[in-house]
Amino acid sequence: MIKNDRWIVARARVGMIEPFEPDLVRQIESPNGYAPRQVLSYGLSSYGYDIRLSPADFRIFRHIPGTVVDPKHFNPANLQPTELHSEESGDFFILPAHSYGLGVAIERLEVPPTITVISIGKSTYARCGIIANLTPAEASWRGHLTLEFSNASSADCRIYANEGVVQLLFLEGEPCATTYADRAGKYQDQPQEVIVARV
């Protein structure tokens, strides 16, 4: 069963999402005292929670002649750190046309043992050609999600930091025999930085 806003609030009070925003934020105060600035929404929704992209780390895949990306022996040199740009509209990274990038969530999750979390893309980005990979966080997973984005369009696209980037859905099931924490999963306790493929 998908969990609602009341359940998400109750679990956030005991540390499931940190930091936690109990409302759906669509505008924020401008740092210079000007009119409030519109943002891509983040925070609590009816049956989910929109998390934000961290400004700390965003990387784009690049081709290194003579190499093939291998998930069993990932070469970090295949990922190029990307500059954070700032304008009145906000801070953003640029994901080039037909490219793939990795970012990380600001929020830290601590998933309960009977819950699996699925992250899905926001429709505002989808309408610009940005596809967010459907990423799970299994029962008892902890950390900052590494987020994956594909720019399927023929134009470069901004991805805004400190604003909503994907929505989390919380699905409850019967208790499992072995949680992610029990098996000491390889992506447990991810920090607020991009974590590359591991075996």
Q: Would you say residue 117 lies in a domain?
A: yes
Q: What is the DSSP string of 158-170?
A: EEETTSEEEEEEE
Q: Would you say residue 193 lies in a domain?
A: no
Q: Which of 73-82, 98-107, 170-179 has the lowest mean pLDDT?
A: 73-82
What's the pLDDT tens digit per position in 79-129? Answer: 999 999 999 899 999 999 999 999 999 999 999 999 999 999 999 999 999
Q: Would you say residue 178 lies in a domain?
A: no
88 given a catalytic annotation: no
Higher-confidence residue of 137 and 36: namely 137
Please give the radius of gyration of the chain, using alpha carbons only, rounded to the nearest integer. 17
**What pTM did the predictor assign?**
0.93
Q: Would you say residue 49 lies in a domain?
A: yes
Q: Would you say residue 180 lies in a domain?
A: no
> What are the C-alpha distances in Å from 108 to residues 1, 3, 11, 81?
23, 19, 13, 22
C-alpha to C-alpha distance for 76 and 196, rounded to whole angstroms: 7
pLDDT band at 52 (very low <50, low <70, confident <90, very high): very high
CATH number at residue 43: 2.70.40.10
Q: Would you say residue 68 lies in a domain?
A: yes
C-alpha to C-alpha distance for 68 and 14, rounded to whole angstroms: 44
pLDDT at 107: 98
Least Cα distance to 142 among 112, 162, 166, 174 occurs for 112
Instruction: Out of 88, 107, 110, 148, pick the active-site residue.
Output: 148
Q: Would you say residue 90 lies in a domain?
A: yes
Instruction: Report the number of distinct structural domains present in the chain.
Output: 1
pLDDT at 197: 87
> Which domain does 73 fall in, by range?
5-172
Contact by Cβ (8 Å): 146, 109: no
pLDDT band at 173 (very low <50, low <70, confident <90, very high): very high
Q: Would you say residue 52 lies in a domain?
A: yes
What's the pLDDT tens digit per position in 141-151? Answer: 999 999 999 99
